[in-house]
Amino acid sequence: MSNVKDNRLFGTDGIRSIYGQYPLDRVSVVKLGNAVGRVLWGSRIVIGRDTRQSSETIMRLLSSGISGMSAKWDISDCGVIPTPGLSFITDHDDFDFGIMITASHNPWTDNGIKIFKGDGEKIPVRLEQELEEVFFNIGEPVELEAAVEPVGDGARGIYRNFLTNVASQLDPIKVEEFKIVLDCANGAVFAEAPAIFKQAGFVPVVINNAPDGRNINRGCGSTDTAMLLRRVKEERADLGIAFDGDGDRVIMADPEGNTLDGDHTLYLIARYFLETDHDFNKVAVGTVMGNLGLEKALDQMGVQYARTPVGDKYVYEEMKKQQSILGGEQSGHTILRAFQKTGDGILTALFFLRALFHFGMTPGEVFRNLHLYPQVLKNIPIREKRDLDQWDQLNDMIREFDARHGMNSRVLIRYSGTEPRIRVMLESEEQAVIHEYMRKFEYLIKLAIGK
């Protein structure tokens, strides 16, 4: 599942691959360290990781590659920490760059590398390309055992204190009456999330917080909410909160058996910001995958919904451009730009709760109030790529679809960036429209370029 293509290491969210395979084999990780050592010469770097079995090994190899360029490197080990925590510490402590070892919501066999600038933002494409150019021109990698020092409690405390302060603003009476279930995905939030919510006054039921290196995201967390839904019902809880492996996503569950995704979160927090935050400029940023029902609901509130390509880095870039403080993805990445430079599952959950308490709503009411349209995504294997802009038959079919159903329907067709597949997403108020046109698009695509 490597996202490497031609002379690219970086995909839409850093480097990601199966551990042990290129570019996360031993030699390539050390070479990447050499590239970092050359391009970011003399920088003070902090490295964090999730709970995967391979994460500490990658950290050591990467550090030895960086040190191979100079023994005088200042490298700090932040240990296991959520990705937003690593970003926050990089931003608020005296570090030039932060490196996170994680494959986010992927299984334990995968891993990846995300790099942040000193201001907590992900490095720009320009710097990714510079690192790639150096990487591909390195012959034999150079290793030198790195003198990596663990960060002190003060640095780690910066992030926890920030979240504790946000949590302390919840109404303590409502907190006392509200029961939550936390699914930590056996990932990087396994220590942070329970501590923060307990400090806020909750008595949470905590599940999947015993990482063993191989159980991260396995049958749990934001990508598999079946266990969370069951426990919310069994515990008669008011809300279930599921994080992903590195803590930058969050998905909710209500006691009625409904899953609330990132679209529900954007909807509720947008309503909350409209009433409480004078810095909210009535622009929310999402991706092309955001539901049309969300767009219409935001429009009725007087909030513009700006769409970007899939990927939280594109959302963040558009948020800066639009001066928006709210953005996110259906998958559960929500960015509260006045507080964080990346998605933060714990922070988002705290604001979701703040909004619930402010409106006196239940999670079930949020689910019912946002009328999402049925949405179907199909991945079709292909033998070749054809220029979508020049594909007349396909574009004629899209125009026909828009002309007949465009007011209350959407079609999105794009190639996968990591595998030989084309993705067809159809969304409509009517399931019959989705069924009819999915058959038409699938037939045309398979006939022309299908595998």
Residues known to be catalytic: 104
Provide, for the chain, the percentages of residues in helix, strand and coil under a 3-state DSSP scheme, each rounded to the nearest 5.
40, 20, 35
Q: What is the DSSP letter of 112?
A: E
Helix/strand/coil for 2: coil
Run of H or E including 242: strand 239-243
DSSP string for residues in 268-332: HHHHHHHHH-TT--SEEEEETTS-HHHHHHHHHHT-EEEEE-SSHHHHHHHHHHHT-SEEE-TTS
**Which segments of 95-201 does DSSP mark as H helices, in order?**
125-136, 153-167, 172-177, 192-199
> Which residues sit opposite 16 in a β-bridge?
112
Q: How many whole angstroms separate alpha carbon 445 and alpha carbon 451?
A: 10
Dihedral pair phi/psi, residue 2, rounded to 5°: -55, 145
Q: How many whole angstroms separate alpha carbon 69 and alpha carbon 224?
A: 42
Q: Give yes or no for a cis peptide into 381 (omega within 30° of 0).
A: no
User: Amino acid letter at 117?
Assistant: K
Run of H or E including 431: helix 431-449
Is the Cα torsion angle 284, 287, 292, 294 positive or negative in sign? negative
